Structure 1
Amino acid sequence: MIKRIFNAISRRLARITPEQTREVTGAEISGTNVQTYSGHQQGIHHRLIDKAALDTVFSLKRAGYEAYLVGGAVRDLMLGIEPKDFDIVTNASPDQVKQVFRHRCQLIGRRFRLAHVRYGRLIIEVATFRGGQDDNHPARQIDDSGRLLRDNVYGTMDEDVWRRDFTINALYYDPKRDVVIDYVDGREDLQAAQIALIGDPWVRYREDPVRMIRAVRFAAKLGFNLAPSAEAPIAELGGLLKEVSNARLFDEVLKLFHSGAAILVFEKLRHYDLFKHLFPLTDAILATENEHFPRQLVIEALQSTDRRIAEDKPVNPAFLFAAMLWEPMMQARQDYLDDGLSPQDALFAAAGDVLHIQCSHTAVPKRFTAQVRDIWNLQFRLHKRFGDRAAALRAHPRFRAAYDFIGIRVAAGETELKDLFDWWTDYQEKDPLEQIRFANQMVRDAKPGRRKRSNRNFYRKKSDQSATHD
């Protein structure tokens, strides 16, 4: 999927030329340096826009308000990518939007007041134009570090554009007049394939530190680079992510690693030293080697996730966190084993410790932490596949995730698990009667009194291998 996106972007960038501009007559659009383009000439066609999004825009216009498509949808349309989400901006207040759509509309948010308009299961997000930079306005609240806590100051499109984050996400499209409106040279940055912030990056990152990881996500997803001005503050301001709520960071982690470009996201987060603020335990262990080899499990897991997304298969957040935290958990488990705990108690204690620390950074919901525990626990139970146990394990709701997890462990270098993985692969391909015979054969082949001991030292910490990554 990522290759298709890159190819589509390349074709679109080659077709975007300065000659594809035209001025809009009248005084509808004010502001300095504003440029307007024919939507059709930029590759925007109504058949590519969800009908619900068009209906929302035209309903607001019929009610006497301004309304535009904005943000990622316009960007993607201009790049030849089919948008997945459509955001709309209007001069109607949230309460006025609710009056237009009545029972179909729900108002949400405290930090930014938004309207969600429902069309069946589809939600179209409608925002009111944001106002100017009056930090003393009673509807705007900023903390001592410059982080924007609340911003419900409304204004005009001329003001709204400067409240947006990146130039390529600040393009407005009026479907009625077929016009793209560009205040900040967003189209020029699309041509240059770069991520640039609107305004002073140092100020904008302080307002919302999440913009740093959003910049990484867009760069990875689109195959763009960060503009030098967008890169410069990250090394110094990355620590501000500690002040972002852990619930919000959980949502951002899913967007990062379920974007279809997880490997590129991971590499860029590590390059900009931001990964440690999202997965501190994982970041620390990635700085060490495992028996003189780089740790590959995270890479294999992210590659697997990218493949599933490219094939339009579902992905589970629990699998992502199970993979990210597996080696920190195994290190903690080894410590508990060394202290004399039983293998089961050591696993339980280690899982609790690691998940507790992780949730203080990204608030993983309990339904996912329970699944993570199941995936980890099954890594040890899947070895015990004799007779009736195989069918019971196969019926476990987390069996498939645990089986896939063994697969990435094998791919990451744990070759001693290959026979186990192959056995379960063969087992799943057989019909129920053959599965019974196959599992019973394990009982007949087993040699009494010969139980293979696991390598308890595999994850033992060694002083000459320990390292930190600040």
Structure 2
Amino acid sequence: MPPPRIIPRQDHPLSRSMISPNVLKILYRLKDNGHVAYLVGGGVRDLLLGREPKDFDVATDATPGRIKKLFRNCRLVGRRFRLAHLHFINEIVEVSTFRASPSDEQEEDIVPPIPGSEAVRQPRSLVSEDGLVLRDNVFGSPADDAHRRDFTVNALAYNISDFSILDFVGGIEDLERGIIRTIGDPSVRFTEDPVRMLRAVRFAALLGFTFEEMTWQALVENAQGITKATPPRLYEEILKLFLSGEGEAVYQYLRLGGLFAPLFPVLDEWLNSETAGFPHVQSGRNLEWIDKRIAAGDPVSVPLLLSLMFGEYLEERARIYHKQGFTSLDATEAAVAEFMSEEVPVIAIPHRVVLAVREIMILQNRFRKMPGKRPQSVLSRPGFMDALAYLRCKSESSGEGSDVLNWWESYAVNKTLPPFPVQIEGGEKPKRRRRKRKVKTPPATL
């Protein structure tokens, strides 16, 4: 491998004052004990771009066992990738050992035996027949570690010994040009770990970068393989994507690159159709509203996010069930259950989140009844604030439901019924109570 490009301290803006004190302690303790230690990954990238890093990662030549001996607050995690998590009061720092690309012949890890059985040896690297990396604990050099990372802009390293930046793969140039480029053959890298395609989309949207041509072409060609990733991991990545503050840009990239269809097959088919001659554009508008809310520092819960992503489709399905004779409540429950039964096998949405989404959608029907029975009980329902935020988004983006929104917001603040409640079309009209007729008793006979 060619030697790295070294950017001395005077030629880059990264300073120790920008780095977490806990991370500096880790770097210096490893260095003082004779180990090579670098700040790596997205933290270096973000600091060079003038952004505040979400977290910091450290890479070293110390093995996981050695790291555990040096730090009492260390916990070793992961089977596929053995990592050290160093726990501080307000921070968890991930420390990894320099890794090399897996080869055919590697040493084996000895797994402690189950009582009554023999010790089992497992390979440090394991790759499936179709190229998916199942296990990767092969240690290597700093250069090896840089070349096995996903994208060039994420392979930069900050050397605590002389405060220089090490660039093994041309990451500085791509950072300056604003390009997302895989390290090595992009098809191979996306096959090894399909989630890298989602990470590429997230970085492009979040940083405002463009894709290098071969990287984008490989993403499009391998998009259907995204479902090879485990459903729980896809759920975590989807939340990172759409709660990044650039959800609408992510949405456009996913649809353009062909990733949206395998992740959300039912929703994608519906988005490609029209209802009464009109395209379905509300999901994109809702994601723009979420991005503005995140930029303003307002929280967005996972149930609210998913409700706004799927809401237009769920409302249409509920109307179809309602025409078939279902009550408004049963129609909404059926629409949510039908959609989630097809989505959960692909993306492992937790059951508690599904129930919260259902509550948000059910409350939309209840909001149309003003005041309805026991309106004070509506305020205490667990999904009320998210349901009201859903209605607010719908009102601001389409102009629908503003009267309903104003009524419930006023009631929520003042705790007194606003004057002149209006029955909104689509809400179920209250049934007239029939007065019970008095039964005349015949006169007593002698």
The alignment's TM-score, normalised by the length of structure 2, stands at 0.87
- Preserved CA contact (<8 Å) 1:111 1:151: yes
- 1:67-86 aligned at under 5 Å gives the runs 67-86=37-56
Per-residue deviation, residues 437-466 of structure 1 (Å, max 9, x unmatched): x26x53xx77xxxx84469xxxxxxxxxxx
Does structure 2 conserve the Cα–Cα contact (< 8 Å) formed by 1:328 and 1:354?
no
Aligned-partner Cα distance in 2 for 1:429–1:39 = 56
Shift of 1:62: 2.1
Aligned counterpart for 1:419 among listed residues 375, 388, 403 = 403
Secondary structure at 1:120 match in 2: coil
Which of 83, 99, 124 pairs up with 2:93? 124
The amino acid that maps onto 1:242 is T
Partners of 2:279 and 2:427 in 1: CA distance? 22
2:330, 2:294 → 1: CA distance? 36
**Contact 2:369-2:427 at 8 Å conserved across structures:** no
| Pair 1:41 & 2:25 matched | no
Partners of 2:47 and 2:398 in 1: CA distance = 42
* Partner Cα separation in structure 1 for residue 158 and residue 146 of structure 2: 13
What are the Cα deviations for residues 205-242 of structure 1, in whole angstroms up to 9, with x where unaligned? 11011111111110111111000110111222111111
Residue 269 in structure 1 maps to residue 235 in structure 2:
no
1:412 positional shift = 4.1
Question: Which stretch of structure 1 is more off in the superposition, 43-52 or 386-395?
Answer: 386-395
State the distance in 2 between where 1:314 and 1:251 align: 18
- Of stretches 197-206 and 285-294 in structure 1, the one that deviates more from structure 2 is 285-294
User: Could you say which structure has the greater relative contact order, defined with CA pairs below 8 angstroms and 6 or more residues apart?
Assistant: 1
**Residues 283, 411 of structure 1: alpha-carbon distance in 2 compared, 3 angstrom cutoff:** farther
Aligned-residue identity in percent: 37
What is the CA deviation profile of residues 280-305 of structure 1, one whole-angstrom value per residue up to 9, with x for unaligned ones? 22212211234433323212321222
Report the residue type matching 1:51 in the other structure. P
For 1:233, what is the secondary structure of its paired residue? helix
Residue 108 of structure 1 is matched in structure 2 by 77
2:299 and 2:409 mapped to 1: Cα distance? 20
Residues 156-209 of structure 1: per-residue CA shift (max 9 Å, x gap)? 112111110100000010123111000101001011110011011111111011
Tell me, yes or no, if the aligned pair for 1:281 and 1:328 is still in contact at 8 Å.
no
Question: Is the aligned partner of 1:202 residue 2:171?
Answer: no
Q: How far apart in 2 are the matches of 1:290 and 1:63?
A: 67
Which of 60, 63, 66 aligns to 1:90? It is 60
Residue in structure 2 matched with residue 394 of structure 1 by the alignment: 379
- Matched ranges for 1:401-412 at <5 A: 401-412=386-397
Cα pair distance change 1:215/1:189, threshold 3 Å: same
How many residue pairs match? The answer is 412
Shift of 1:414: 6.0
User: Using the alignment, how far apart are the partners of 2:337 and 2:188 within structure 1?
Assistant: 38
Query: 1:294 matched to which residue of 2?
Result: 279
Does the residue aligned with 2:363 lie in a helix, a strand or coil? helix
Aligned pair partner of 1:134 in 85, 100, 103: 103
What is the deviation of 1:143? 1.1
2:118 aligned partner:
none
What is the aligned partner in structure 2 of residue 374 from structure 1?
359
Write out aligned runs for 1:151-166 (5 A): 151-166=136-151
Structure 2 spans left out of the alignment, 5+ residues: 107-122, 429-446
Within-5 A mapping of 1:3-402: 31-102=1-72, 104-137=73-106, 138-386=123-371, 389-402=374-387
Q: State the alpha-carbon separation in 1 of the partners of residues 13 and 257 from structure 2.
A: 34
**Per-residue deviation, 1:59:** 1.6
**Distance in 2, Cα, partners of 1:100 & 1:197:** 34
In structure 2, what is the Cα distance between the partners aligned to 1:452 and 1:155? 68
Residues 300 and 411, structure 1, Cα contact 8 Å, conserved in 2: no
Conserved? CA contact 1:70–1:171, under 8 Å: yes
- Kept in 1, the 8 Å contact 2:328–2:365? The answer is no
When structure 1 is superposed on structure 2, of 241-250 and 306-315 the one drifting more is 306-315
Following superposition, the deviation at residue 142 of structure 1 comes to 1.0
Counterparts in 2 of 1:186 and 1:390: CA distance versus 1, 3 Å: same
8 Å CA contact 1:73, 1:83 repeated in 2: yes
Task: For residue 98 of structure 1, give the secondary structure of its aligned residue in structure 2.
Answer: helix
Q: Secondary structure at the match of 2:71?
A: helix
| Partner Cα separation in structure 2 for residue 45 and residue 218 of structure 1 | 23
CA gap 1:398/1:296 in 2 versus in 1, 3 angstroms: same
Contact 1:113 1:127 in 2 (8 A): yes
Opposite residue 48 of structure 2, the aligned amino acid is M
Deviation at 1:136, TM superposition (A): 4.0
Q: Which string of whole-angstrom CA distances, capped at 9 and with x for unpartnered residues, describes residues 410-456 of structure 1?
A: 344362x22111222333443x3xx24x26x53xx77xxxx84469x
Structure 1 stretch displaced more, 58-67 or 83-92: 58-67
1:281 and 1:323, CA in 2 relative to 1: closer, same or farther beyond 3 A? farther
Q: Deviations over 1:59-99 (max 9, x none)?
A: 22222221110011111111111212100101111121111
Q: For the Cα contact (< 8 Å) 2:40–2:154, is it kept in 1?
A: yes
State the distance in 1 between where 2:19 and 2:352 align: 35
Q: Secondary structure at the match of 2:157?
A: strand
**Per-residue deviation at 1:405?**
0.6
CA contact (8 A) 2:102 2:125 kept: no
Q: Secondary structure at the match of 1:264?
A: helix
Taking the aligned partners of 1:69 and 1:338, their CA distance within structure 2 comes to: 60
Who wins on radius of gyration, i.e. which is larger?
2
Could you list the runs of 5+ residues in structure 1 that have no partner in the other structure? 1-30, 456-470
> Are the structure 2 counterparts of residues 332 and 239 from structure 1 closer, same or farther at C-alpha, using a change threshold of 3 Å?
same
Residue type matched to 1:42 in 2? H
CA contact (8 A) 1:114 1:128 kept: yes
CA RMSD, Structure 1 to Structure 2 (Å): 2.0
Query: How far apart are the structure 2 equivalents of 1:178 and 1:256?
Result: 32
Contact 1:256 1:262 in 2 (8 A): yes
Question: 1:53: Cα distance to partner?
Answer: 1.1
